[in-house]
Amino acid sequence: MELQKKSESVSYYIRECSSIIHHKGHQIAQEYGLTYDQYHMLIYLELSERPPTINDISSKFNRAQNTISEKVSRLEEKGLVERCGDTNDRRITRVCITEKGSKLIHTIREERSNRVTYRALGKMRHEDVDNLLNNLFKLYDNLKEEG
């Protein structure tokens, strides 16, 4: 197989594996009472450098501000987020993930890893897992160099 075809195959399988893992994360989040949107909003809040505003979130998810405000209220009721004031401008309200929300996201990630990736790798020989990890690291390193 020529390198171009191999490249396409590698990209395809990486996308498909990522999609399966992501989908399983949604299923686990549902088990914890989170909707698809709530799960993604918590991830966004967890990864944000500073707590976003409702407007920031509505722009990110391409949804109306009132829709996002309702979703934030539901997450507030669950104790996963809270509205907090801006330290520089008291007129601005930000959405902060709570410790409970952060713990839930970490729990879901850990369960996703254990239920999905760990089980799949457990069906492989140790040597194959080591080779896969080594080669993924090399691919990652090469991709970073190109970026």
Q: What is the pLDDT of residues 85-119, one digit of tens each?
A: 888 888 899 999 999 999 999 999 999 999 999 99
Q: Domain boundaries in the chain? A: 3-146
**Domain 3-146 class in CATH:** mainly alpha
pLDDT higher than threshold 70 for residue 147: no
In whole angstroms, what is the distance from residue 8 CA to residue 90 CA? 51
pLDDT confidence band for 1 (50 / 70 / 90): confident
Q: What is the pLDDT of residues 3-22, one digit of tens each?
A: 999 999 999 999 999 999 99
Q: What is the pLDDT of residues 32-89, one digit of tens each?
A: 999 999 999 999 999 999 999 999 999 999 999 999 999 999 999 999 999 998 888 8
Q: What is the pLDDT of residue 146?
A: 79
Q: How far apart are the first and last CA of the chain?
A: 26
pTM for this entry: 0.82
> How far is residue 102 CA from its own chain's centroid?
12
Q: What is the pLDDT of residue 21?
A: 94
